[in-house]
Amino acid sequence: MPLPFVDGSPSWTTTHALKLGSPSKKPVDANIDTTTHFVNVKKDPVAHESEAKKVPGLQRHVAIGFCLQRDALLSLVAHGGPEKKLDQTANACLEGMTGAPAVWSTGCLVYVAKVTTTTEQENTKMSSVLQDVTSELNIEQIYQKKSQLEHILLHPDTYVGSVEYTDREVQWVYDAEKESIVQREISYVPALYKIFDEILVNAADNKQRDPKMDKIRINIDKERNEISVYNNGKGVPVVMHKEEKLYLPELIFGTLLTSSNYIDDEKKVTGGRNGFGAKLCNVFSSKFTLETSTKAYGKRFKQTWKDNMAKDKDCDISKATGEDFTKVTFTPDLAKFKMTQLDDDIIVLMYRRAFDIAGYTKDVKVFLNEKEVPVHGFKQYVEFYMKSVFEGDEAPKLVHEVVNHRWEVALAISDKGFQQVSFANSIATTKGGRHVDFVTDQIVSKLTEVVKKKTAKGGFKVKPFQVKNHMWVFVNALIENPTFDSQTKETMTL
Separation between Cα atoms, residue 238 and residue 320, nearest integer Å? 10
CA distances from 494 to 272, 403, 436, 462, 491 (A): 15, 20, 11, 30, 9
- Domains 169-381 and 398-477 in one fold: no
Phi/psi class of residue 468: alpha, beta or left (left: φ > 0; alpha: ψ in -120 to 50)?
A: alpha
Q: Which superfamily, per CATH, for 169-381?
A: Histidine kinase-like ATPase, C-terminal domain (3.30.565.10)
User: What pLDDT, on the 0 to 100 scale, is given for residue 343?
Assistant: 94
| Sequence spans of domains, the chain | 127-158, 169-381, 398-477
User: What pLDDT, on the 0 to 100 scale, is given for residue 361?
Assistant: 92
Q: Which residues contact 107 (CB under 8 A, 6 or more apart)?
A: 83, 84, 85, 86, 87, 88, 91
Q: Which residues contact 183 (CB under 8 A, 6 or more apart)?
A: 170, 171, 172, 173, 389
User: What pLDDT, on the 0 to 100 scale, is given for residue 352?
Assistant: 96
Separation between Cα atoms, residue 162 and residue 96, nearest integer Å? 48
Per residue in 159-192, pLDDT (tens digit) is: 898 999 999 999 999 999 988 999 999 999 999 9
| Higher local confidence (pLDDT), 41 or 358 | 358
Amino acid in position 76: L
- The 3-state DSSP class for residue 67 equals strand
Torsion of CA 489, 491, 492, 494, to 10 degrees: -120
Separation between Cα atoms, residue 425 and residue 406, nearest integer Å? 9
Per residue in 434-453, pLDDT (tens digit) is: 999 999 999 999 999 888 88
Q: Which residues contact 88 (CB under 8 A, 6 or more apart)?
A: 107
Q: Is the overall model pTM greater than 0.75, yes or no?
A: no
Average pLDDT over residues 14-40: 31
Average pLDDT over residues 399-404: 93
**What is the distance, to the nearest Å, from the Cα of residue 1 to the centroid of all Cα atoms in its chain?**
37
Give the pairing type, strands 169-175 and 180-186.
Answer: antiparallel
Cβ atoms of 76 and 103 closer than 8 Å: yes
Cβ atoms of 391 and 180 closer than 8 Å: yes
User: What pLDDT, on the 0 to 100 scale, is given for residue 487?
Assistant: 73
Strand order in the sheet with 111-117: 33-37, 111-117, 12-18, 62-70, 72-80
Separation between Cα atoms, residue 380 and residue 388, nearest integer Å? 12
Separation between Cα atoms, residue 104 and residue 45, nearest integer Å? 12
Separation between Cα atoms, residue 6 and residue 4, nearest integer Å? 6
Separation between Cα atoms, residue 8 and residue 6, nearest integer Å? 5
> Per DSSP, what are the bridge partners of residue 250?
none
* Domain covering 398-477: architecture: 2-Layer Sandwich (3.30)
Cβ atoms of 133 and 106 closer than 8 Å: no
- The 3-state DSSP class for residue 231 equals strand
- The 3-state DSSP class for residue 180 equals strand
Residue 158 pLDDT exceeds 90: no
The candidate with the shortest Cα–Cα distance to 202, out of 408, 421, 361, is 361
Number of other CB atoms surrounding residue 58 within 10 Å: 15
Average pLDDT over residues 298-302: 95
Average pLDDT over residues 351-378: 95
pLDDT confidence tier of residue 52, bands split at 50, 70 and 90: very low
